[in-house]
Structure formats: structure tokens, C-alpha cells
Amino acid sequence: MIQKCPHCQADVIFSRDICPACGHPSQDGERGEATYLGEAKTDGRPVYNLGIETTMTARQRHGRILVGLICGAIPAPLVAHTAVYLVWFRVSVWVLLATFVSTWVVFHLWYGRKWARWVVAIGTLTAGCAGLYQAVLRRGTGMNAVEIMAYVVFALVYLWCSWQLLRCQDVKEFLGYQRNHTPEV
């Protein structure tokens, strides 16, 4: 666990009762909570996330994590599909277009655009329901187990993304923060 050393004020990983940065012994009760800013404040190096960390609430930081997961989970199956088909030299224009469009919309979602939130929420809800429908409908028509599992897993991931975008207050607070603190892109 990363903790703050009481002697040198460095954020370090303690594996024993000796600080790996300064070598002084310190018991678990003496150590403080890590701020992740200890060395950056004294060295004069810029702290790139200092402004975000000090102005965002805990709910907004939690929303940032959820939006980051959503932004990674949405284009992931399309990118994987595109990579496999590029290796097989079977390029589908529609899959490439869907990959670029989803990446573009997710980019705007990260910057807090309201329209992008609704487009992604409705798109993932539709894709999730369609994936479950395909897995149930076509399971006896020659689909192998891997295809069925992929449909079910990605459908559930998409439904989770839609649920978070539509219902989670932390996500809404983070997107509002992003809207107010980022320039127009």
C-alpha cells in the first residue's frame, strides 16, 4: 500500500517497517495517507493532475473512472473485429466506419458533450439488447459457443455502459465538470 513516510514526507510503498526512500523505521500507525504530490511539490516539476484533483469532488472523480471505462469498453469490440479482419485481409467498410464513428462520439463524450452522452447511451442500449437477442435467437442455428459467449458478454457490457450513462449521478457530475472546464473541441 502506498503511504506517506513521516520522516521524508515521500509517498512510497512500504513492504516492511522501513521507508524505502529515506531508510528510517516507521510503524504503520505513524504513516499518513498518500497524497501522490510529495516529490512533485519540492522538485519544481509540474503536477499535471493537481488542478483536477483539487477542484473535483469525490463523486466527480468516481464519475471520471466510470466514463473512462465506458470510453474504453465501447470501441473495444469494434477495434478487435477490425484488427482480426485486417489480418485476414477482409476489410469491411461498415466495420471501419462504425469504429471511427464510435471513437469520435466517445471522444466527445469524454469532453462532456450532452448530445454524445445520449447518442452513446441509446446506441449501447440498442446494441446490448440486439446482442442478447442474437445470442438467444441464433444459438441453435450453427453459432459456436465462442460467438454466443461474445454476444452475451459484449451485450452485458454495453447494457452496463448504458445504465451508467443514464442513471449514475457520478457520471453526470463528471460530464458537467468536463463541460465547464474544457474548451470547445
DSSP string, 50-115: HHHHHHS-HHHHHHHHHHHHHHHHTTHHHHHHHHHHHHTT---HHHHHHHHHHHHHHHHHHTT-HH
| Domain identity same for 95 and 66 | yes
| Domain identity same for 11 and 86 | no
Rounded CA-CA distance 71/151 in Å is: 19
| Domain identity same for 84 and 12 | no
pLDDT in the model for residue 36: 57
Full domain range(s) for residue 37: 2-50
| Domain identity same for 160 and 96 | yes
pLDDT in the model for residue 1: 59
Domain boundary among 16, 33, 50: 50
Number of domains making up the chain: 2
pLDDT in the model for residue 82: 81
Q: How many CA atoms lie within 13 A of 96 on its CB side?
A: 6
pLDDT in the model for residue 99: 87
Mean pLDDT by 10 residues, the chain (185 residues): 77 78 81 61 52 73 92 87 80 84 93 93 94 81 78 92 94 90 67
